Amino acid sequence: MTTSTPDAPPLSAPTSDGRVRLAAEGLRLAYDDRVVVEGLDLTLTDGSFTAIVGPNGCGKSTLLRALGRLLRPAAGRVLLDGRAIQRTPTRDVARALGLLPQTPVAPAGLTVADLVARGRHPHQSWLRQWSAEDEAVVAEALSWTDMGDLADRPVDELSGGQRQRAWISMALAQGTDLILLDEPTTYLDLSHQIDVLELVARLHAERGRTVVVVLHDLNLAARYAQRLVAMRDGVLVASGTPHEVLTEQLLADVFDLEARVVPDPVAGSPMVVPVRRLRR
């Protein structure tokens, strides 16, 4: 896969030069009066691969929505390339940052090719509806995600794993170098979870995308991400490399879980072996 697309970032391996792409400052997020995230600070550097982990209802998906400008913070702000994201026009955000919600639904009958083509919307206008560049980027995105043969199948007829690939293909066609994914492995069996995460890892490694992903599975998060962010009850509890974050003490504090942490025999990343749930 050596073809490069006009708008794709440089093909070289990610160079974490430390430039901050996305940052949250003193973020408080709430639905009506119910505060879900409180006083959260976070920085995401260029070319990083971050996984947000935490127990159910800890606010990790809410945080991701705020980072993607889908939710207006009750206090604090989100900065995209140093600029307040709420004050950035929708279309500018869409050219810099792609977001895949949890279990997105496509209308009945929409084909994979059409879905991926809709990723080009931020680059189109009334005069320039479908350029040769759009055509090339979509074709490349389809083949890069191995969806070329399924291009004319309706999305709603695909299997769960194929469907997720189609959506990732759309995010790729959008051509943003920041991609946020909300639990892309939900409802998938283990081999398809691996398949999807391999694809996301390739987006990061081969295409140089900065990736933020919300994940349930700690072992997979530790294996694929460079950095883990652990949350509990709307508060950021720990942040660092998988080895720094996934400690037995943290698992007890954040997940109420007594567990052993051993090296993953395949990847060498920390691996959680649960013992029992701790009652508080």
Binding site for other proteins (CB under 8 A): 3, 32-36, 38-39, 57, 65, 68-70, 90-95, 97-101, 104-111, 113-115, 118-119, 121-122, 124, 135-136, 138-140, 142-144, 146, 148-149, 151-152, 174, 194-195, 198, 201-202, 205, 223-224, 232-235, 237, 266-268
Comparison of 82 and 89: residue with beta carbon closer to other proteins: 89
Comparison of 140 and 177: residue with beta carbon closer to other proteins: 140
Comparison of 81 and 92: residue with beta carbon closer to other proteins: 92
Q: Find the shortest distance in angstroms from Cβ 124 to other proteins.
A: 8
Residue 198, both tokens: 């391999």
Let me know: does 117 contact 173? Beta carbons within 8 Å. Answer: yes
The whole-angstrom separation of Cα 256 and Cα 190 is 24
Q: Find the shortest distance in angstroms from Cβ 17 to other proteins.
A: 19
Comparison of 82 and 265: residue with beta carbon closer to other proteins: 265
Q: How far is CA 208 from CA 1, 147, 178, in A?
A: 14, 21, 9
Comparison of 52 and 113: residue with beta carbon closer to other proteins: 113
Q: Find the shortest distance in angstroms from Cβ 102 to other proteins.
A: 9
Q: Find the shortest distance in angstroms from Cβ 178 to other proteins.
A: 11
Q: Dihedral sign for Cα 271, 202, 240, 193, please.
A: negative
Give the residue from 141, 170, 174 showing the smallest Cα distance to 155. Answer: 170
Q: Find the shortest distance in angstroms from Cβ 223 to other proteins.
A: 7
Let me know: does 263 contact 219? Beta carbons within 8 Å. Answer: no
Q: Find the shortest distance in angstroms from Cβ 114 to other proteins.
A: 7
The whole-angstrom separation of Cα 6 and Cα 170 is 16
Strand 20-31 to 178-182 pairing: unpaired
Comparison of 211 and 261: residue with beta carbon closer to other proteins: 211
Q: How many CB atoms lie within 10 A of CB 235?
A: 15
